Structure 1
Amino acid sequence: MAYLLQLISRHARLCLIVGLAAGLMLPALAQAMTPWLPLMIAALLTITALRIGHAAARGAASDLRWGLGAVGVLQLGVPLFCLGVLTFFGYAQTPAGLALVLATSAPAISGSTNLALLLGLDAGRMMQIMVLGTATFPITVLPILMLSPQIGTFVDVLQSASFVLLVILCATALGFTLRATFYPSPSRTQIQTLDGASVLAFSVIVIALMAPLNHAIQTEPLQVALWALLAFSISYGLQAATLLALRGSALSAVSGPLAIGAGNRNIALFLVALPPETLAPVLIFIGCWQLPMYLTPILLPKLYRKVLQDG
């Protein structure tokens, strides 16, 4: 088993592609896995915390000033700016406008630490951004809800965000405990084994996340293509803009994790928090949103290396 996980670690990007393909080509499997998503995400968080270790996370949490400021910009400043531009041009009430506001309002996905590991970035810093973003989400989203009443109510979003934060904290605590108990000083081989377990869990989850796209691809292929184009534009545009904006700045050392957090958002929070009729126009987009996120470590490593090395 350890050898298999090490093999998966060495071929991590291929495993992500296999997961995406399985989710699209095996609709029955994807549908059957969907009810297990919360449990699978909790398992992924536990494995990720086990891989990172409490020492790295504690070091990353030593200075909250830049983290809170960055979360404020990403989850409040960016969506408010987008909402203002959309309102000015009269697109705020369109499905595409709603998709943009939702995508930029959400915190970093729970799998963002895995993306950081795959890109060779500081996963401890990434975990800090993810936890801070989720914890402050009920606060940062409040102005967005007030300015966009069609999105949903504060109480709904607060309940959803609180539940997600509780899952993150419990799963992380379990992972740190397992690390301290069984891998206090892991060897290089053990680290590679843990990396393989993390990649495997990340690749399995995407199968279930692809379920909403299966029917749409068969019935509305053009709509899927347009929504996918929008998803890639938002995700990769935010990542590139963040990397370039922070290059050479005081935050250049954490520009990689911040870029991942900027372009890989947990829009699934709104699936739990908002009524189905609100999200109906953007359900295909939510499915397409998984594509750029899971392909980030495959399509963008050169961008991250070039910008971070030049910076």
Structure 2
Amino acid sequence: MRSSLLRLIPRGPTLLALGVLLGLVCPALADLVRPLMPITIFVIVLGTLLRVDGEAVVATLRQPSLSVLLPAVVMVACPLAIGVVGHTLGLPPEFALAIVLAVSAPPSSGTAAVARMLGLDGAVPLVVTVLSMVLAPVTVPLLAGWFGGLEISALELAMRLALLIGSAEGVAFLLRRHAAPVLAARGVVVDGIIVTALVLFAVATMAGIRAQIAADVASATFCLALAFGCNVTLQAAGAMLLPGTLPQRLTVGLILGNRNVGLVWSALGVTASPRMALYFAATQFPIYILPRLLEVLISRNKRKASA
């Protein structure tokens, strides 16, 4: 099993893209996997916390641009900017709220693993993701309440997020306390488990989406274009936010663009309207497909550098 998981990691970007497409092409499979969505979110968050390295955390915390500025940009500045732009453009209220909720989510828990798959630095996205998850139970409900339109109170949303994140943190603490040497030696296995959970989550998010697309092609197309537009804009902004090499800037772009929408989606539960769920599902396409395109860009950049 260990060797099978290890083989998944280099193929990660391709597998993630195929996961979304598989769920869309095989709706019966997506419906079958759909009940596993909360479990996959828990496993992804837990795996991320298990991959935290104490030295990397300390090194990152010593850099205010990464430990203070970047989490603030990720969790506050980005959703505020996207929300203001959405309202300025006159987006329908459900879609305007959906993009705020999606962008207010912490970075995708698989971002660090994806960064490592792409040959980028996984330490920075890992630490920023953990810091952002700590902020999420406070910032997400406040931002959602400020923009308005939710059928769930800010307090209940905060409690649900705290439960989801806190339970994973509790299990991670126990595992790290009692099995730290094993975890340190099997880090790549944890990455393999994260990739597997990400693929299952990608398939699960497509449950019912094919029927929604058939029922309202215009809304589905709009959601897809909006999701790609938000993700690409945030990744481009992230790539220009901090100075550094191309790999460093691409890493920041991944942090800003790829969000753990499933965490917020799971916390909302049935209070997420069908249109909001459609947008949340649409966000998975750029999250899972763009890393494959980044892989091509990084490969070309490496070939030019070695030429």
TM-score between both structures, scaled by the size of structure 2: 0.82
Match in the other structure for 1:217: 213
Match of 1:246 among 236, 239, 242: 242
Tell me, yes or no, if structure 1 residue 9 matches structure 2 residue 5.
no
Please name the residue that 1:203 is paired with.
199
Partner in structure 1 of residue 222 of structure 2: 226
Pairing of 1:78-227 with structure 2 (within 5 A): 78-89=78-89, 91=90, 93-151=92-150, 152-173=152-173, 176=176, 180-182=180-182, 184=184, 186=185, 195-227=191-223
Q: Deviations over 1:104-134 (max 9, x none)?
A: 2221122222222222222222122112112
Mapped to 1, the partners of 2:46 and 2:254 lie a distance apart of 20
Q: Which residue in 2 is equivalent to 1:286?
A: 280
Sort the Cα spacing of 1:149 and 1:248 in 2 relative to 1 into closer, same or farther, 3 A: same
Deviates more, 1:127-136 or 1:294-303: 294-303
- Measured after TM superposition, the shift of residue 298 of structure 1 is 0.2
Partner of 1:296: 290
Write the distance in 1 (CA, Å) between the matches of 2:143 and 2:135. 13
Matched, 1:37 2:33: no
Aligned pair in 2 of structure 1 residues 259, 220: CA closer, same or farther (>3 Å)? same
Larger CA deviation: 297-306 vs 3-12: 297-306
CA distance in 1, matches of 2:190, 2:86: 44
How far is the alpha carbon of 1:238 from its aligned partner? 0.4
- 1:26 counterpart = 2:26: yes
Q: Secondary structure at the match of 1:289?
A: helix
1:61: how far off? 5.0
Matched residues in 1 for 2:199 and 2:177: separation?
24
Contact 1:45/1:171 (8 A) holds in 2: no
Contact persistence 1:137–1:161 (CA under 8 A): yes
Helix, strand or coil at the partner of 1:10:
coil
For 2:214, give the aligned amino acid. Answer: Q
- State the aligned residue count: 302
Kept in 2, the 8 Å contact 1:156–1:273? The answer is: no
- Match of 1:300, SS state, is helix
The answer to whether structure 1 residue 237 and structure 2 residue 215 are counterparts is no
Q: CA deviation at 1:191?
A: 6.1
Distance 1:175 1:122, change over 3 A: farther
Report the CA distance shift for 1:198/1:69 in structure 2 as closer, same or farther (over 3 A). same
Cα separation, partners in 2 of 1:80 and 1:204, compared to 1, 3 Å: closer
What is the alpha-carbon distance in structure 1 between the residues aligned to residue 133 and residue 242 of structure 2? 22
C-alpha displacement at 1:296, in angstroms?
Answer: 2.5
How far apart in 1 are the matches of 2:85 and 2:206?
31
Aligned residues: CA RMSD: 3.3
Secondary structure of the residue aligned to 1:298 is helix
CA–CA distance in structure 2, aligned partners of residues 118 and 79 of structure 1: 27
* Percent identical residues: 25
Q: Deviations over 1:34-75 (max 9, x none)?
A: 22222223333444555x353455445533733232222222
1:197-240 Cα distance to aligned partner (Å, 9 max, x none): 44333222211122142322333334322211111111121011
Partner of 2:273, secondary structure, is: helix
Say if 1:158 and 1:49 are closer, same or farther in 2 by CA, change over 3 A. Answer: closer
Give 2:256's aligned residue: 262
Taking a change above 3 Å as real, the CA distance of residues 57 and 36 of structure 1, as seen in their structure-2 partners, is: farther
TM-score (normalised: structure 1): 0.81
Shift of 1:147: 2.8
Contact 2:265 2:272 in 1 (8 A): no
Given the superposition, is the C-alpha separation of residues 137 and 304 from structure 1 closer, same or farther in structure 2, using an over 3 Å criterion? farther
Structure 2: which 5+ runs fail to align?
none
Is this contact kept in 2: 1:212–1:283, CA < 8 A? Answer: no
Any stretches of 5+ residues in structure 1 without a counterpart? Answer: none
